[in-house]
Amino acid sequence: MNIADVVRALAGFAWLAAVGLGLMMIVRVSRNQASRGLSSLTVGVLIAALLLTALGAGLVFINPEERGIVISALDSKGYRTDALTPGLHWVVPGAERVELYKISRQTYTMSVAAQEGQITGDDSIRARTKDGQEVFIDASIIYAIDTTKIIQLHINWQNRYEDQVVRPTARNAIRDAVSQYGVEEIVSTKRAEMETLITDAIAEKMSENDLVLVDFLLRDIHFSDEYAAAVEQKQIAEQQAQQAKLVVEQRKQEAEQARQVAQGQADAAVIASKGAAEARLIQAEAEAKANELLAASLTPALVQYQYILRLAPGVQTIFIPSGNQFILPLPGEPETSTQPTTPPVTP
């Protein structure tokens, strides 16, 4: 309770006291009792009630979140040129009165939910997109009165600014913006851009009407039942197509993996074959080299010696007649006679 309310309350008590004292004075007069002192008190209380009433009628207390417009019969314009700021002020009772305006932030909501907005029932904004689809928008407008233009606001709109400025401005800006985009754009790639477009349009229009837009909130976008069903079917089809694509990709990967395994096995077989061939070639070259060296080292005596060893491995000594070959001929060697040849006789 501010001081102006206290003064008015005191004035009310003073009037009650004056009425009570007046009744008591009437009762005493009717009974022929002395009432001079009572009458003086009654007059004093009555004067105090009048003064307090006059004072209370002229005192105005402005709260921090308010501004006051003084409507004055004493001014040629009909109002004071400066709004009343927070604190205690005096106006001339009977000749001036004060209209209070809230300068704190206010929210105006338009929603499909029955109890969310200022209007009971479905108050969402119905609009049509560029491609002819019908959408429903839930939105909130956070705004405030421009304190530098509050007197002009009172002259133009008084307390009708919410219904005649905020609401129609917001609904018109939303419909205009929605009509510039396709239905898929406003729910995906272009939503932020559309919000910016709406915000700028509302801010400009409200500034022309002595209001300040604090924020625009695009709360929800919903569609007609038919379009919602179509969107759901499309999403299901897209999901199925995506799933099929994933299956095909998986099959491709499995085929590629099998191809790579087969290629690896084939490459391994080729490498193994090459290794075996190279090993055989190296072995053959080694054998040929060994045979070449062995052939170069063989002599007839060594061959005969090895031959005899194969026939009688235990032989330690071999006596060979001088000038004669081994007792046994080598395999494949023609036998020769051991008898001396008789010289021919000349007749």
Q: How confident is the model at residue 131 (pLDDT cuts 50, 70, 90)?
A: confident
CATH code, domain carrying 210: 3.30.479.30
For residue 345, what pLDDT is reported?
A: 43
| Span 325-339, pLDDT tens digits | 544 555 555 555 444
Q: Are residues 139 and 122 in the same domain?
A: yes
Structure-token pair, residue 49: 């009630």
Query: 160 or 183, which is more confident?
Result: 160
Mean pLDDT (whole number) for 219-230: 76
* Of 46, 77, 102, the domain-final residue: 102
Q: How confident is the model at residue 103 (pLDDT cuts 50, 70, 90)?
A: very high
- Contact yes or no for 101/67 (Cβ under 8 A): yes
181 assigned to some structural domain: yes
Q: How confident is the model at residue 346 (pLDDT cuts 50, 70, 90)?
A: very low
78 assigned to some structural domain: yes
Q: Are residues 168 and 94 in the same domain?
A: no
| Span 13-56, pLDDT tens digits | 888 887 887 787 777 777 776 666 677 777 788 888 888 787 77
Q: How many domains does the chain have?
A: 2
Give DSSP secondary structure letters for 270-327: HHHHHHHHHHHHHHHHHHHHHHHHHHHH--HHHHHHHHHHHH-TT-------TT---S
Q: Are residues 141 and 204 in the same domain?
A: yes
74 assigned to some structural domain: yes
232 assigned to some structural domain: no
Domain with 213, as residue range(s), is 106-223
Q: Are residues 207 and 187 in the same domain?
A: yes
User: Residue length, the chain?
Assistant: 347
* Of 71, 102, 133, the domain-final residue: 102
Specify the pTM.
0.58
Kind and range of the H or E run holding 230? helix 225-297
Strand intervals (E) in the chain = 59-62, 66-72, 87-90, 96-102, 106-110, 125-128, 134-145, 211-223
Q: Could you tell me the CA-to-CA distances from 322 to 273, 287, 309, 326 in Å, in that order?
A: 59, 39, 21, 10
125 assigned to some structural domain: yes
88 assigned to some structural domain: yes
Q: How far apart are CA 116 and CA 6, in angstroms?
A: 38
Q: Are residues 134 and 170 in the same domain?
A: yes
Q: What is the DSSP letter of 117?
A: S
* Of 177, 194, 223, the domain-final residue: 223
Q: How confident is the model at residue 341 (pLDDT cuts 50, 70, 90)?
A: very low
With a cut of 70, say whether residue 302 has pLDDT above it: no
Q: Are residues 158 and 126 in the same domain?
A: yes
Q: Are residues 89 and 168 in the same domain?
A: no
Q: Are residues 96 and 124 in the same domain?
A: no
- Contact yes or no for 324/339 (Cβ under 8 A): no
Q: Are residues 120 and 27 in the same domain?
A: no
Q: Are residues 97 and 47 in the same domain?
A: yes
- Contact yes or no for 61/4 (Cβ under 8 A): yes
Q: Are residues 152 and 54 in the same domain?
A: no
Long-range contacts of 229-233 (CB under 8 A, 24+ apart): none
Q: Are residues 213 and 115 in the same domain?
A: yes
Mean pLDDT (whole number) for 265-288: 81
17 assigned to some structural domain: yes
184 assigned to some structural domain: yes
